[in-house]
Structure 1
Amino acid sequence: MTSLSRLILDPGHPAVRADLADVDSLHKTLMRLVPDHAGPTPRARAGLLFRTEPGPDPVLLVQTANPPDLTALPAHYGTARTLDLTPLLNSLTLGRTVRYRITAAPTVARSAGNPTPHPVTGKRRGKITHLTGDDALAWWQRRATAAGLETVTITSLPRPFPRTRVTRSAPYFTLTQFDGLARITDTTPLTDALKNGIGRAKSYGAGLLSLAPA
C-alpha cells in the first residue's frame, strides 16, 4: 500500500534543525520510517521519496511503499498525516486532466569525447551535466511524456539544493520545481513513475511526482 505522509516539522526541535541543515541526516531520519531492507538500494526497496514543500514553515511530503512507522521519528519532531494512495492510483484513466508537481534534478549524460566504454554494457560513459532554463523544461517534457503524461501547461522554479554539512565546491545537483496541468496518456508508466519517482537525486529530496484532480 503506497502511502503519502505530510509532516509539519517543529523548527525549534534540535533534530529538525539538524536535519534541515544536513540532507544526509534528513535522509537517515526518514529511512527510520520504513522496515529494514537488505541489499545495495534500501531507499528504492522501501519506495522512499520525499520533497520539501515551499512556504514559510518546514513541511515535508514523504512517500513510502508501505505505511510508515511514524513512532520511529524523534519525539515531538512534528505532526503528521498519512494517506493511502491506492484510490489515486486506481483513479488514473486515459484522457483525464490532472495537476502535477515535481521537484526534479534535470540532467543529461554527454559522452562526446569520452573514449572509455563501460566494462559491462560497452556503452561510453558520459559526463553528467546539470540542466537549467529551457534545457530543464525540455528535459521535463521528455520525462513527462515517457511517464504517460502530455503536458498542457508548465511553470518552473529553481529550487536550492538541500544543505549538507559536507563542504563541496558546488551542489550535488541543480533542482527545478515543475508545476502545471497534464493529460494522462498511459497509466502503466504513470503508475510506475508515481511509485518510483523520476530522475536522479531521490535521496536528496528530488523525484517525487504528485498528482491532484484538475
Structure 2
Amino acid sequence: MTVAAYLARIRLNPYSKDVQRDLRYATEMHKTLMRLVPDNVGDTPRQDTGLLYRLDDNEHESVLLVQAAIPLTPHRLPSGYGTVDVKSLAPMFAALRKDLTVRYRITVSPVKRERLPLEQKNQRGKVIPLTGAQADQWWTRRASEAGLHLHSSTATSLRPASSRRNDTHPIKHQLIRYDGTATITDPQALTAAVLDGIGRGKSYGAGLLSLAPVSPRAE
C-alpha cells in the first residue's frame, strides 16, 4: 500500500521580518506553517492534516522541514519567507523494511506526569520536562515503541519553544534533538510514528522523525 505524505524543505530567509518573528515565537511559526495546508479542514487542522515540522540550524543557514499527509501549498507562505522544495515521501515509506539500518533525526519534548498522593487520585499531576539521562531513557523507550532499535543516540539541547509574551497563559516546551543510527524492528509501527509524530509539542516544532538508509559501506 502506498503511503501518502509530503515533505517541504524551506531554507529560511534570515532578513525576512516574518521569519525573525516566527523564530522567536513557536506559536507564530505554527500559524505560518498552517498556511501550507488548506483552510477549513476540521476542528483540529494540524492533527487532521498530519502537519509536523522541525527547525534544523547550522552555522550557515536555518532550514525548516514541514511534513503533511496532504499536498503542500508553498505559494501561501509570506513573500520572501524562504526557498522551498517539496517532495513526496512515498518512496521513503516504500523502502522501510525490517532489519534495515537507518540514520535518524528527531526533535522531541520529553516529559513525565507528576505522581500525586492517593488522596488526590482523581486529579492529574503537572507535566514535568525531562532532561539528561531521564530524557535519554524516554527517547529510547519511545523509539522502541516506534519500531526502532537504537545503535547510537546523540542529544543536543535546543532553545525552548515558547508562545508570545503577551499570551494569557504563556507556554514553553523544552526541546532536545536526537541524532543517531538504528535498526528497524517493526516497519508498520515506524510508518505510523513518522506520520503521527512522537511525543508532545507537535505545534511547537517537536515530533517529526526523519529517516535515511545507511549504506553498507557506512555501517
| 1:10 aligned partner, one-letter code | N
Task: Flag the 1:164–1:126 CA change in 2: closer, same or farther, 3 A.
Answer: closer
Distance in 1 separating the partners of 2:41 and 2:8: 24
Q: 1:12 aligns with which of 3, 6, 15?
A: 15
- Partner of residue 67, structure 1: 71
For residues 36-83 of structure 1, give each alpha carbon's deviation from its aligned partner in whole angstroms, at most 9, with x where no partner exists.
244432111111100110213221111111121111011221101111
TM-score, normalised by the number of residues in structure 2: 0.89
Matched, 1:33 2:36: yes
1:44-59 residue pairs with structure 2 within 5 A?
44-56=47-59, 57-59=61-63
Distance in 2 separating the partners of 1:33 and 1:171: 24
- Partner of residue 206, structure 1: 206
Q: Over the residues paired in the alignment, what is the CA RMSD in angstroms?
A: 1.9
Unaligned runs of 5+ in 1: 119-123
| 1:68 aligned partner, one-letter code | L
Task: Flag the 1:132–1:163 CA change in 2: closer, same or farther, 3 A.
Answer: same
Distance in 1 separating the partners of 2:6 and 2:71: 6
- Partner of residue 194, structure 2: 194
Q: 1:90 aligns with which of 73, 94, 97?
A: 94
TM-score, normalised by the number of residues in structure 1: 0.91
1:151-162 residue pairs with structure 2 within 5 A?
151-162=150-161
- Partner of residue 182, structure 2: 182
In the TM superposition, residue 165 of structure 1 has moved relative to its aligned partner by 2.6
Q: Aligned to 1:199, what secondary structure does the other structure show?
A: coil
In the TM superposition, residue 127 of structure 1 has moved relative to its aligned partner by 2.2
Unaligned runs of 5+ in 2: 215-219
In the TM superposition, residue 155 of structure 1 has moved relative to its aligned partner by 0.8
| 2:67 aligned partner, one-letter code | Q
